[in-house]
C-alpha cells in the first residue's frame, strides 16, 4: 500500500488515488496537423522506465487535484 504524497493533502494511501502514467506528455496543439505516427505517439507511447519516473497522480478520493510526483518504479520510493 503506497503512501502517496499529495501536495495538498499530504501523504495518503494509494487507494485514494488514480494513476496517470508518465507526466508532461502534452496534448498536441494542433492534432489535425499531426501525422498518424505522431498522433499514435501521443495516444499510446508513455515512458515505462525502470527507476525514476515523473508520473501523474489524481487524488480522486481526496482533493481531486492532479499532480506530478517523481517515483522510483523499482523501489516505489517517492523522490524529491
Partner 1 sequence: MTGAVAARHSPLEGVAAAFAEVATVTDRTVSLAELPFLAQINLRADPADAPLLARLGAALGVDLPTIPNTAAAGPRGDRYVLWLGPDEWLVIDRAGTEASLEGRLRTALRGGRGSVVDVSANRTTIRLAGPAARAVLEHGCSIDLHPRAFGPGRCAQTLLARAGVILISVSAEPEYRILVRPSFAAYLATWLLDAVDGAT
Partner 2 sequence: MSPSEERSQHPRRLWRHPEPKASYDVVIVGGGGHGLATAYYLARNHGITNVAVVERGWLAGGNVARNTAVIRSNYLWDESAAIYEHSLKLWETLAAELDYDLLFSQRGVMNLAHSLGDVREGQRRVNANRLNGIDAEWLTPDDIARVCPIVNLAGDIRHPVVGATFQPRGGIAKHDHVAWGYARAADALGVDLIEGAEVTGFEREGDRVTGVVTSRGRIGAGRVAIVVAGHASVVAALAGIRLPLQSRPLQALVSELLEPVHPCVVLSNAVHVYVSQAHKGELVMGAGVDGHIGYGQRGSFHVIEDQLVAAVELFPIFARAHVLRTWAGIVDVSPDASPILGLTPIRRLYLNCGWGTGGFKATPASGWVLAHTVANDEPHELSRPFGLERFTTGALIDEHGAAAVAH
Partner 3 sequence: MIDTPTPTPTRRLPDGGDWIDRTRPLTFVFDGRTLTGFQGDTVASALLANGIDRVATSTYDRRPRGVMTAGMEEPNALVQVDWPGGASEPMLRATQVELVEGLRAASLAGKGRLSLAPGSNDPGRFDRRHVHADVLVIGAGAAGLAAARATAAETRLIVIDDGPAITAPDLTTRLETRLLARTTALGVYDHGYVTAVERRPNARTEGRLWHIRAGRIVLATGATERPIAFANGDRPGIMLASAAGAYLRRFAVRPGERAVIFANNDTTSAVADDLAAAGIALIETVDWRRNEVVVDTLADASGRLAGVVIAKIASDGAVDPATLRTVAADLLLVSGGWNPNVALWSQARGSLRFDERLAGFVPDRPFGPVEAVGACAGDVAGIGELLPLWVVPPAPVAGRPASDDDWAEHYLDLQRDATVRDLRRALGAGLTSIEHLKRYTTIGTAADQGKTSGVLASAIAAALLGQDVGAVGVPTYRPPYVPVSFAQLAGRDRGALIDPVRTTPIHPWHAANGAVFEDVGQWKRPRYFPGDGESMDAAVLRECRAAREGVAAMDASTLGKIDLQGPDAGPFLDRLYTNAFGRLAIGSCRYGLMCRADGMVFDDGVTSRLAEDRFHMTTTTGNAAAVLDWLEEWLQTEWPELHVRATSVTEQWATVAVVGPRSRDVLHTLAPDLALEPEAFPFMTWRDAVVAGIAGRIFRISFSGELAYEINVPSWSGLALWEAVMTAGAAYGIVPYGTEAMHVLRAEKGYPIVGQETDGTVAPQDLGMGWIVSKTKPFIGSRSHRRPDALRSDRRQLVAVLPSDPDELLPEGAQLVAADARLDAPPVPMLGHVTSSYRSAALGRTFALAMVRAGRERIGETVVAPLVDRTVTATIIEPVLYDPDNLRRDGDGR
All residues at 6 or more sequence positions from 71 whose CB lies less than 8 Å from its CB, including other chains: 52, 53, 55, 77, 78, 79
Phi then psi for residue 38, to 5 deg, are: -60, -45
How many C-beta neighbours within 10 Å does residue 71 have? 19
Q: Is residue 68 involved in binding partner 1 (CB under 8 A)?
A: no
| Minimum gap (Å) between residue 24 Cβ and partner 3 | 10
What is the spatial distance between Cα 63 and Cα 68, in angstroms, rounded to a whole number? 14
Q: Is residue 48 involved in binding partner 2 (CB under 8 A)?
A: yes
> Which residues of this chain interact with partner 2, rule CB under 8 A?
1-2, 13-15, 17-19, 21, 36-37, 40-41, 43-46, 48-50, 53, 55, 73-76
> Which residues of this chain interact with partner 3, rule CB under 8 A?
1-3, 11, 18, 20, 26-28, 30-32, 34, 36, 39-40, 42-43, 56, 58, 60, 64-66, 75-77
Amino acid at each position: 500500500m503506497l503512501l502517496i504524497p499529495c501536495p495538498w493533502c499530504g501523504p495518503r494511501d494509494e487507494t485514494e488515488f488514480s494513476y496517470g502514467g508518465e507526466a508532461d506528455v502534452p496534448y498536441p496543439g494542433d492534432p489535425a496537423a499531426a501525422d498518424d505516427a505522431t498522433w499514435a505517439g501521443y495516444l499510446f507511447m508513455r515512458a515505462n522506465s525502470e527507476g525514476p519516473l515523473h508520473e501523474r497522480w489524481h487524488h480522486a478520493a481526496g482533493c481531486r487535484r492532479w499532480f506530478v510526483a517523481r517515483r522510483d518504479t523499482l523501489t516505489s520510493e517517492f523522490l524529491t
